[in-house]
A and B are shown apart, each in its own frame.
Chain A
Amino acid sequence: MAAMQRVAQSSVSTSAAATSNYGGSSSFRGVETVISDQFPAGLRVLVVDDDITCLRIVEHMLRRCLYNVTTCSQAKVALNLLRERKGSFDVILSDVYMPDMDVMSADGRTSAVMKGIRHGACDYLIKPIREEELKNIWQHVVRKKWNENKELEHSGSLDDNDRHKRGIDDAEYASSVNDGTDVSLKSQKKRSITKEEEEENENDDPSSSKKPRVVWSVELHQQFVSAVNQLGIDKAVPKRILELMNVPGLTRENVASHLQKFRLYLKRISGVAQQGGIGNPLCGPVEPNVKIGSLGRFDIQALAASGQIPPQTFAALHAELLGRPTGNLVTAMDQPALLQASLQGPKCIPVEHGVAFGQPLPSCLVVPSQSSASFQAGNSPASVNQNGSFNKTAVIDYSLLSPQSNNSSLNIGQVTDGDLQTTGILSGYIPPASISPSVSSCSINADNCSSQQLQNSSMTFKASRQLPIVHSLPDVQGSYGAIKPGEVLDQAPFANLGYNDKGTCLPTRFAVDEFQSLMGSSSRGKIFAENIGTRVKQEPNMEFVDNSRVGIPMLQQFPPNELMSVFTE
């Protein structure tokens, strides 16, 4: 009732009440304060929905996530608010039937989802909204920031140097938890200053000059693939592909970038085939001077250790393990049975090797090696980064689960960096899952020399199945390509393919170059999308600049106990 009155009086209600209730920071004056030590607590969320019931529920859920919530029941008012208070919201959740701001709706129809995504929504939640989904909306903010950073990197701005410098400096400390935290503070602050806040309102705000995102949805990718096939992989050039695709708004650059990833993917697949799955041919020697550890990892550790992560986040992890989507932002359904399967499966201890490779490494998401098909890798297990010890062996296992694991490819890469004396193993189990024939391969690996960029995905099916498994391989001396910072920077993340089931197609939710494979099966008007994906990304700039951001999201991906145990290693 209170909420409604507020809405009725002013149409907008804002509250920062959550903090005091949870004993969080006593001040919500600035997001910076909160973000600095308690991110994502304090995330400023604007909820717009003309359905007062939903509005109230979502508001309450968001408060429980310690977000700073503003509600609004009229789109018009919301738009005004956004114009007047530009930059005062991190995330906007809007009902889909309000023009231009599509995020949340009871309309689970594929077309509606597609429409929402095309209009710039970075996620699409189906009502009824679940608390778990809201706990992770901050990822969009983080992701967006990453993407912005990537752009900066490409533009070769001065920041690059700073980042490298900082990275090196950081590596000199032996990596204490505190260092990590400091870094995250810095970067968080920086972020809050530089960030363009609104996630969704690009469309509304004519003054916004952001580049439109290209979301390589399943459909789009299919068009791309068929164009490439038509031309022949050797003759496929961006310009020709673009012509064949004939998609308004798509640029040659978009296609070129996607083509590059696609080629790398093909190359990797064939390389794997030749090598019998062992050893990653794409990797060459690591250049020693790039031994910059990404301290991002520490953030997690630091946060976890210092209890800065709200208990609810941890609680959420458990919940999410139960078959709910999270880590990768997926709307998913509850499948307790599956949950069980995944929990019982042998766990693969994730280990991350941040510094290990002597290059800016990506965060690694490691998935339990064995789990049911419906296991959601995205939220589960673990990736851990260890920066602290350079003499560690890091093993990254990717297990991709797919019900139809024909043509599974095992991809294993391993690196040893003499300087750091760290050995890492990347092992990827990537059975292509194919539902729609044209989208049969399930992972695209963007590594070229610097290798550790893997993004795998697979889909989940409702039927639970024990899948094959991943193994950690013994150390193998791998050769990694010489990596120079510049090169690394040029590497774009990969694309994964999305899958669809029963005609329900969920476009990937990530902007630009990240693909998530989503599988949606719809029933009872809901869409359950589950995402199984392991990914290791190499996004060097994050490592240097946005350490905290690299770290935090991963947190979501592991269960607390593993997190702790691994970190305290």
Chain B
Amino acid sequence: MDVVQLQRQLVDYKASLYNEAILDEQFTQLQELQDENNPDFVVEVVSLFFEDSERLLNELTKALEQQNIDFKRVDAHVHQLKGSSSSIGAQRVQKVCIAFRNCCEEQNVQGCLICLQQVKNEYSLVKTKLETMFKLEQQILAAGGSIPV
């Protein structure tokens, strides 16, 4: 594939992420923060997000497996996940977190478990999508093209 085609593909792909509400304008902001001094800023931050999210999801899974669930603790984890997902614009993850916190507040175990599954799904989705996007970008760069804004 030539560069132009790849570039077009990337543009379309990104657009689909916004259309499907996987990402929101916060991600756009993030991209705008990337400058010549920090050319890999987006990838760096998103990697941090992946890392942290996985840790949090593990913690949540463990916490919800307990006999006596510490809802405060669960809530704190979800809160953090909400914060980090909103910071990178992973809005579907963020939205599930909101519902998740409500379940925590109600101490609704079943609700929490459902939310946990949902948040895992959304996380996987955004992760896959972002990785695909980064791969496309790399291909474009490797082919000597520039990333379309």
Interface residues of A (CB under 8 A from B): 1-4, 21, 50-54, 56-57, 60-61, 64, 95, 97, 105-107, 127-131, 334, 525
A54 lies within 8 A of B29 (CB): no
* Supplied contacts A56-B44, A97-B79, 6 more A-B pairs, CB within 8 Å: A52-B48, A57-B45, A64-B35, A105-B83, A106-B82, A128-B89
Question: Separation in Å of the A377 CB from the closest CB of chain B?
Answer: 24
**Chain A residue at smallest Cβ distance from B88:** A53
Residues of the B chain whose Cβ atoms lie less than 8 Å from the Cβ of A2: 44
B48 lies within 8 A of A130 (CB): no
Which B60-96 residues have a C-beta within 8 angstroms of A?
76, 79-80, 82-84, 86-89, 94
Residues of the B chain whose Cβ atoms lie less than 8 Å from the Cβ of A50: 80
Question: Separation in Å of the B94 CB from the closest CB of chain A?
Answer: 7
With contact pairs A1-B44, A21-B37, A525-B98 given, residues A57 and B79 touching in the complex (Cβ less than 8 Å): no
Complex CA gap A344/B86 in Å reads 32
Question: Separation in Å of the A162 CB from the closest CB of chain B?
Answer: 43
| Total cross-chain contacts (CB, 8 A) | 73
| B26 contacts chain A at the CB level, 8 A cutoff | yes
Residues of the B chain whose Cβ atoms lie less than 8 Å from the Cβ of A54: 83-84, 87
Question: Separation in Å of the B43 CB from the closest CB of chain A?
Answer: 9
A131 lies within 8 A of B87 (CB): no
Neighbour of B80 across the interface among A4, A51, A61, A64, CB < 8 A:
A51
| B33 contacts chain A at the CB level, 8 A cutoff | yes
**Chain A residue at smallest Cβ distance from B30:** A57
Which B1-57 residues have a C-beta within 8 angstroms of A?
25-26, 29-30, 33, 35, 37-38, 41, 44-45, 47-49, 51-52
Can you name 10 A-B residue pairings with CB atoms under 8 Å?
A1-B48, A4-B48, A51-B52, A56-B45, A57-B30, A57-B88, A60-B45, A106-B86, A129-B87, A131-B33
**Chain B residue at smallest Cβ distance from A334:** B25
**Chain A residue at smallest Cβ distance from B49:** A53
B41 lies within 8 A of A60 (CB): yes
B83 lies within 8 A of A64 (CB): no
**Chain A residue at smallest Cβ distance from B47:** A1
Residues of the A chain whose Cβ atoms lie less than 8 Å from the Cβ of B79: 97, 106-107
Question: Separation in Å of the B85 CB from the closest CB of chain A?
Answer: 9
Complex CA gap A55/B37 in Å reads 18
With contact pairs A51-B80, A97-B79, A129-B87 given, residues A57 and B52 touching in the complex (Cβ less than 8 Å): no
Complex CA gap A423/B47 in Å reads 60
Residues of the B chain whose Cβ atoms lie less than 8 Å from the Cβ of A334: 25
A53 lies within 8 A of B84 (CB): yes
Complex CA gap A130/B88 in Å reads 11
List the 6 shortest-distance A-B pairs measured between CB atoms, nearest first: A106-B83, A53-B84, A128-B87, A53-B49, A53-B48, A128-B86
Residues of the A chain whose Cβ atoms lie less than 8 Å from the Cβ of B37: 21
Complex CA gap A176/B30 in Å reads 42
Neighbour of B84 across the interface among A51, A60, A61, A525, CB < 8 A:
A51
Question: Separation in Å of the A88 CB from the closest CB of chain B?
Answer: 25
Question: Separation in Å of the B83 CB from the closest CB of chain A?
Answer: 4
With contact pairs A56-B44, A107-B79 given, residues A525 and B33 touching in the complex (Cβ less than 8 Å): no
Looking at B44, B76, B86, the one whose CB has the most chain A CB atoms below 10 A away is: B86
Complex CA gap A57/B84 in Å reads 10
Looking at A4, A52, A105, A334, the one whose CB has the most chain B CB atoms below 10 A away is: A52
Complex CA gap A317/B47 in Å reads 32
A53 lies within 8 A of B52 (CB): yes
**Chain A residue at smallest Cβ distance from B37:** A21
Neighbour of A60 across the interface among B25, B33, B86, CB < 8 A:
B33
